[in-house]
């Protein structure tokens, strides 16, 4: 029995896609390699913050099922690959999951199938990596027997304004006919579609989007470092500059850059550039600045304790908000990791509080989670606000009397020091 869609990879990208397709009335099956993810979804339990349990229950009621059996791919009219594209242990792009997902699909797709890659990667991935795997494994030809599309994901965790249906979707195909099939598919549940000239342009557009943010975050981070050196209030600088109604896009400094996309995607662009004999000096400089910020936080913490006649060794430090982003539970690439690592290296007793994160470990060393914020504040020698979750009462934090290092510029008071 044919199904409209099989989503391969049910994480932060794949599950929202499956939910949107289910809501539009498509017959959807999810394929994932994690038994616990599959079992949870089939029991109407979500592991993705932007897709609540109630939404998964609605999906299941509409006929959605999750499985670890790749045989379901043979029943799909459309297969969308939403597998992660992270970095290797050496910091290089890791396309292993993409290659694996393409190989799994290759022997099971049939004539007429639409295959879509949504995973972020460098220009050429669709044509040079995925296409050969699919054609070799299936014996079919792209554009003649089946259709291959690249459509980069645009998921912004925690964003309540823009979701799948109202975020413009870039569509690109290996052939014009492939692109038309992509438009027909996504047009069923996305309001605005943007057709790219080709897959390489679409792949490059995705990397540009996130590299733009990466570079601008680095700029304001370096401005913050300079303002600290000069005794200038960087937050007032940003407020004043942000009042300009044209020619300025506001960004804010912080303890570092986190998440799966922003610190990772520029590496894919740099790697591809190197293979083409090109150097992205801007990205290299931005990475140096952004990777410096956690060390700056540790240095500021050390200075604050020294001002109270204490050393970092033996001091009790509380980290507030270890997720990479406000009001999400995701800790991938969070700057809290290098900050905690730097504090631990100096002998401090580090604990954390984050209402959305149940466990947080640095290099295999679990940190103790504090559940009572008031008691944790009283017990700490220093509190570092890394993520200003909306549950934190910043006025209460500022007036608690604890020594507070605010890396988000949200607090004020005699015991508060801003980044």
Residue 372 CA to its chain's centroid (Å): 29
Catalytic entry in 82, 174, 178, 261 = 261
Q: Which residues of 300-311 are buried (b: 16+ CB within 10 A; e: fewer)?
A: bbbebbeeeebe
Could you give the 3-state DSSP secondary structure of residue 3?
Answer: strand
Report how far residue 186's alpha carbon sits from residue 180's, in angstroms, rounded to the nearest whole number.
10
Report how far residue 167's alpha carbon sits from residue 243's, in angstroms, rounded to the nearest whole number.
26
| Alpha-helical regions (H) of 253-320 | 265-275, 281-307
- Closest-CA residue to 317 (of 402, 225, 391, 248): 402
Encoding tokens for residue 308?
């109270």
Residue 207 CA to its chain's centroid (Å): 13
Number of other CB atoms surrounding residue 62 within 10 Å: 15
78 and 6 Cβ atoms separated by less than 8 Å = yes
Planar angle of CA 357, 360, 363, nearest 5 degrees: 155
Write the CB contacts of 140 (distance below 8 Å, at least 6 apart in sequence): 109, 111, 134, 146
Report how far residue 419's alpha carbon sits from residue 339's, in angstroms, rounded to the nearest whole number.
13
178 is catalytic: no
Planar angle of CA 211, 213, 216, nearest 5 degrees: 105
Report how far residue 278's alpha carbon sits from residue 173's, in angstroms, rounded to the nearest whole number.
26
- Closest-CA residue to 120 (of 91, 81, 173, 73): 81
Report how far residue 375's alpha carbon sits from residue 33's, in angstroms, rounded to the nearest whole number.
41
DSSP 130: I
Number of other CB atoms surrounding residue 97 within 10 Å: 18
Residues acting as catalytic residues: 261
């Amino acid at each position: 029995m044919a199904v409209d869609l099989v989503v391969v990879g049910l994480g932060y990208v794949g599950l929202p896609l499956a939910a949107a397709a289910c809501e539009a009335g498509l017959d959807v099956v999810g394929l994932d390699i994690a038994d616990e993810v599959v079992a949870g979804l089939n029991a109407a339990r979500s592991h993705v913050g932007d897709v609540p349990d109630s939404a998964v229950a609605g999906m299941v009621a509409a006929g959605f099922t999750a499985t670890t059996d790749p045989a379901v791919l043979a029943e799909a009219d459309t297969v969308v690959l939403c597998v992660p594209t992270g970095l290797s242990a050496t910091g290089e792009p890791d396309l292993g999951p993409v290659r694996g997902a393409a190989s799994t699909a290759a022997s099971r797709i049939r004539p007429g199938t639409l295959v879509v890659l949504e995973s972020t990667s460098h220009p050429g991935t669709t044509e040079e990596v995925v296409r050969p795997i699919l054609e070799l494994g299936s014996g079919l030809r792209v554009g003649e027997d089946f259709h291959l599309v690249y459509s980069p994901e645009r998921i912004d965790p925690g964003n309540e304004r823009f979701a799948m249906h109202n975020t413009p979707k870039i569509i690109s195909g290996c052939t014009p006919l492939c692109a038309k099939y992509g438009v027909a598919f996504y047009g069923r549940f996305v309001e605005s579609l943007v057709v790219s000239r080709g897959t390489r342009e679409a792949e490059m557009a995705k990397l540009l989007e996130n590299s733009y943010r990466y570079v601008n975050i680095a700029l304001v981070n370096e401005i913050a470092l300079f303002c600290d050196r000069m005794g200038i209030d960087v937050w007032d600088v940003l407020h004043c500059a942000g009042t300009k109604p044209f020619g300025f896009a506001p960004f804010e400094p912080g303890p570092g850059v986190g998440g799966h996309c922003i610190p990772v995607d520029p590496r894919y662009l740099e790697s591809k550039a190197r293979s083409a004999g090109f150097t992205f000096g801007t990205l290299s400089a931005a990475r140096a600045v952004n990777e410096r910020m956690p060390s700056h936080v540790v240095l500021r913490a050390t200075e604050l304790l020294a001002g109270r006649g204490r050393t970092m060794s033996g001091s009790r430090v509380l980290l507030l908000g270890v997720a990479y982003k406000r009001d999400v539970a995701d800790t991938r690439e969070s700057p809290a990791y290098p900050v905690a690592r730097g504090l631990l290296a100096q002998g401090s007793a580090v604990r954390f509080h984050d209402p959305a994160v149940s466990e947080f470990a640095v290099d295999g060393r679990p940190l103790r989670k504090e559940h009572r914020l008031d008691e944790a504040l009283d017990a700490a020698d220093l509190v570092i606000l890394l993520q200003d979750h909306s549950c934190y009462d910043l006025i209460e934090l500022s007036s608690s009397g604890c020594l507070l290092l605010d890396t988000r510029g949200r607090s004020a008071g005699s015991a508060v020091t801003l980044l």
